[in-house]
Structure 1
Amino acid sequence: MRRLALPLAACLLLAGCAPTVSLTPAPQATAVGCASLIVGIRGIETIGDAQRRQTDAQGTAAWGTPASVTLYCGVETPEASALPCTTQSGVDWLLSESGDERIATTYGRAPGVQLITTRDASVNDALETLSGAVATSTRGTDRRCLADPGASATPSAIP
């Protein structure tokens, strides 16, 4: 029994090195699809070089120290948008920027999901890593990106 106590203590000590990320839940974070998404991404420990972190809000996830990728499930999505749109694993994402953050918000999915990446993280990596789980956990609606697929924005178009 004593042998197990030391490794357990070491794990607890190491877990304390990266404090919980404090986030605010999205308005519909209690939606069934959000619970399914959070369970579905449980095994995703890294996005690029960023390691998974604990969060303190329902329907959220974070990677990196400091958090360079954050996920919010249960966000409101627009009825229509002039924002650039890209599709990854069957999920349409609206792309925008705010200061040093790049924001990808699902379009035509319920509940809505938003990924926010800092300049230290790749929005491409985040979309590639998480879109499959978003596709299986949320339901598609009749709304789709209308841009010509050859002309639609790609995540790399957002610096």
Structure 2
Amino acid sequence: MRVRYAVGAGALAIVVVVTGWARWGRPDGDPQHGLRAAQRATGPACRSLAGRWPGRLDGHGRERVGVTGAEAWGDGAVTARCGVTSPRLSPDPCMNVNGVDWLLEQARSRQAGKKILVSYGRSPAVEVTVSPGVRAVDTVLLGLSKAVAPIAQPFHCV
């Protein structure tokens, strides 16, 4: 009986170690949507944003992803992640949508093959990717601006 207990405990220890390494050894990411957690995704601003993400964007339903501070809509047609660094001054186009400034990062967008927009002047910032198949980027930004607006914005587009 004692031997069985020792073997059982040893097997349990191995399972715990392997499970722990599998969980802690991988980054907080979602390969299906190409998402990974932003550096400041666990901060209070991003945690409060979690309850404000819209249920639908441009007709696409929201999906739960296994990434802290991030969401996806329409099988990844639109993704958003909170906790990125706000962009610096840039020659890229910046637009205000319902009180939230969004910077279209043109070089990154060309490289990725989809639009990449980042909330400007907010800390932390929210990064949004929009696939080419999405009909109306402005509709997406309208839905997301309402959620992002409570994050303080000390700087604005010029």
The equivalent residue for 2:10 is none
Q: Could you say which structure has the larger radius of gyration?
A: 2
After superposition, residues 29-40 of structure 1 pair within 5 angstroms as 29-40=41-52
Task: Report SS of the residue matched to 1:93.
Answer: strand
Provide structure 2 residue ranges, at least 5 long, that are not aligned to the other structure. Answer: 1-31
Structure-2 separation of matches of 1:78 and 1:60: 18
Q: Give the conservation status (yes or no) of the 8 Å contact 2:33–2:72.
A: yes
CA drift of 1:120 comes to 1.1
Q: Aligned match of 1:74 in 83, 104, 114?
A: 83
Task: Give unpaired runs (5+ residues) of structure 1.
Answer: 1-19, 147-159
Describe how 1:96-135 pairs up with structure 2 within 5 A: 96=105, 97-98=109-110, 99-121=112-134, 122-135=136-149
Within 5 Å, which residues of 2 pair with 1:4-153?
21=33, 23-41=35-53, 44-65=54-75, 67-96=76-105, 97-98=109-110, 99-121=112-134, 122-136=136-150, 138-141=151-154, 143-146=155-158
What TM-score do you get using the length of structure 1 for normalisation? 0.72
Relative to total residues, which structure has the larger helix share, 1 or 2? 2
**Deviation, structure 1 residue 110:** 1.1
Corresponding residue SS for 2:51: helix
Give every structure 1 segment of 4 or more consecutive aligned residues whose post-TM-superposition deviation is greater than 4 Å: none
Q: Is the 2:64–2:72 Cα contact (8 Å) retained in structure 1?
A: yes
Question: In structure 2, what is the Cα distance between the partners aligned to 1:106 and 1:45?
Answer: 20
Preserved contact between residue 52 and residue 63 of structure 1 (Cα < 8 Å) = yes
2:37 aligned counterpart, secondary structure: coil
SS at match of 1:109: coil
